Homo-oligomer: A and B are copies of this chain.
Amino acid sequence: MAFTFVSGNAFKLKELQEMMGVPVKSINIDLVEIQGEPEEVACAKCRAAQLHVDGPVLIEDSSLCFNALNGMPGVYTKWFVERMGLECLVKILETYRNKAAYAQCIYALSGDNGVVHLFKGVRHGNIVTPRGSTEFGWDSIFEPDGYIQTYAEMTSENKYGISDRSEAFKKLMAHLAQKKYTK
């Protein structure tokens, strides 16, 4: 594939490679991210990644948005997980009956002339106390609608069938396939 995936997160690389079914050219860099709307954050991250690579770059940004908090902590979730831990993050919702949330993944691919293409996937679900491996971000506290397992409890195959990341991935692949045939 004609891009370099830039990420400091080994799990994001693993999922991308498994979904693609082939090794992905990648660079392990923790990029500085901006504050803002998810699309702005992804776009700026892609431009920052571009500074390290010749040719097209791909980055990914994920959010976990609590409906009761009107979409927060969203793009800032990783800081909450790092600082407070998952148990404490779930506890924030204890006061609220509404445990609904959505997971959102954006792939950002740099194109020609400085254009950045965004591919977004969204999966609705609920916030639950951690179940399954707590290795990958907040997978263990997100239970997608229609399932009794958290992302972390699912097999890779099942998760890739339904996740916000796989939805974003499919849109990215469709874009790349179309580009191939129009060139």
Contact = CB atoms under 8 A, between A and B. Distances in A.
A79 B32 contact: no
Given A33-B34, A34-B34, A79-B35, A70 B88 contact: yes
A11 interface: no
Interface residues of A, number: 24
B69 A83 contact: yes
Interface in A66-83: 69-76, 79-80, 83
Contact of A72 (B35, B84, B96): B84
Contacts of A83: 69-72
A42 interface: no
Contact of A35 (B32, B69, B92): B32
A79 B73 CA distance: 9
Contacts of A74: 79
